[in-house]
Amino acid sequence: MRRSVRALLPVVLLLVTVATEMFGQHNLFVPRPTTVTYIDDVINGDTLAGGVRKDSLRVYVLQRGGTWFWENSVQNIGWKLTIQAADTGSGSMPRIYGRPTPGTTTVPYNYVIMAGPLVVKGLMICGYVDADTSMLNKYQAPGQFFSRSNPSPDRQEFYGNVFSGPLQAYVSAFGSCSVIKMVDNVFANDGVPPIWDLGNGRIIDCRNVSLDSLILVNNTLAYGFDRAIRHLKSVGRIDNFLLDHNTVYENGGRYGLFSLGAVGSKVTITNNLLIDPMAFGADTSTYRQFDFGEAGEFDAQGKVKMAWIYNMAGANDSLPGKKATVWTIAKNYWYVTPQIQAVWDSARKSGWDPAIGLGRFTTDTIRTRIADTANAFIKLSSFAFTNVPPPMTSVVIYATSPGPNGTAGQSSGGVWPGYDRRLINYYRDTMDCSYSTSSPAYTGGTLGFPAGDLNWFPSKKAAWVVATGIAENPAGSTLPELYTLSQNYPNPFNPATQIEFSIPKQSQVSLKVFNLLGQEVATLVNGVLPVGHHTATFNASNLASGVYFYRIDAGSFSSTRKMLLLK
């Protein structure tokens, strides 16, 4: 059973122009339903006559033990959507399932269409009513739970949820945003073949976008089919990428494990536990070549050299802002189960593919940036979780074997064999990804903590929070790991706009605004601020229309962004 330990730290409220949100006065308690109730009706109905939200900072608090359904998309255009479980009261996590109203044929393709900040906390959300397989076959499932098409300088944050069953991805960002952050979640059954093919089933699909920060800490990923992160065909960079203390079990990895696209300042991949992370193996299939090709590495036969982790590199990366990325990859433990290894061995002997196997952890280019390659990915000689479903050998055979039953390397076709797909309740109540304390991974992480998602070791998680200072604050958003400066919102603006920034430790902070001539026109912050996410308001009512710049200096961090005042 999954348990999460959260420590609460005090939050200092800053007055004048800098404010930390206080949620209490904005809460709307949503009681446990006694009849079929659609949560989107609750949210969409919480509006004024003109369609404006009654409270742009509304927090929807769902009573524990309740079950809701989702039938239509919610659009948080220009306002913040926070939906979370009640912190008190008896009962299990609130559950939400995709289910159309009588007379309609499909569930919404997106649960939420985002153009504003989003926080989801403590919920169980499934793409379909998983206890009734006829529902999935008849109505399918959402393509993406949370989707962003247009750029906006916002944060998307997910804490302590259990997610299952999108067709394509849980979070889809086809428009740039500031931060995507996932902490203490379980993601299971990522993708729904054969409704959709094996080329889908991701945690985050953020192609064609830039991100200030992409952060995943203490999550468990079980039974996915494509890569967990897809940042492909980049038109912008992921400036800071952090992947720490995550557990991956049975990920097909049709196009790898983490496809990072164009990266920027820093990539940190540490303390993760990877069990069958690319179960479809690395092979020579023509059908899998294209996406891996972004790394620009090929063998003597001209085939792409597949890797678990790859990025846009070399001549393929011609985007502006290219810099020497700091790669920190260390203390990641891995294991291939005998069942999956046996499928690879059989595939080679049967002539399905002469080279199918483990593949490379990273591209050659990334490998040259790793300080200690011997301890970047550490093989376990044996391994077993306490209680998990078996490896998805039937799906690996299906993905690699020739027709008529297999796909012959394609993403669909043949005869779908199925696998031991459990209901979402199982991942909340029964699955246990703890492991033996005698495993080298148990003390192999940084500071001697277990590798992988620490929520499976509650006492270790509590000690880790104390040792690292990473914890949840009472407002429901975790403390930042990185310095960030977000794009102002709205932009263009008249006359006022908000500027969000984050500092990971108490710092002397200066936030100033300049005109095109470089003249200072406003000082928004000048003083010592505590760790946290902060917002400054810039009122330009006395200034002329035009382009302005705002710059933050905090510790050794400095960043400048541009904004447009239109009167």
Domains defined along the chain, listed by start: 23-468 (no CATH), 490-565 (2.60.40.2550)
Contact 294, 318 (CB under 8 A): no
Mean pLDDT of 248-255: 96
Q: What does the alpha-carbon distance between residue 158 and residue 88 come to, in Å, rounded to a whole number?
A: 19
- The answer on pLDDT for 74 being more than 60 is yes
Verdict on whether the full-model pTM lies above 0.85? no
- Report the pLDDT value the prediction gives residue 50, as an integer from 0 to 100: 63
Q: Which of 254-263, 363-372, 526-535 has the least mean pLDDT? A: 526-535
Q: E strands along 396-483, which residues? A: 432-435
Contacts of 415 (CB under 8 A, 6+ apart): 398, 404, 405
Contact yes or no for 226/169 (Cβ under 8 A) = no
- pLDDT of residue 16 exceeding 50, the answer is no
**Residues 477, 455: Cα–Cα separation, whole Å:** 17
Residues ≥6 apart with Cβ < 8 Å to 107 = 70, 71, 98, 99, 100, 127, 128, 139, 140, 141, 142
Q: What is the mean pLDDT of residues 221-225?
A: 96
444 has a pLDDT exceeding 50: yes
Residue 469: pLDDT band by 50, 70, 90 thresholds? low
> For the chain, what is the mean pLDDT?
88
Q: Report the Cα 316 to chain-centroid distance in Å.
A: 25
Range scoring the smallest mean pLDDT among 34-38, 153-157, 161-165: 153-157
What residue type is assigned to position 479 of the chain?
L
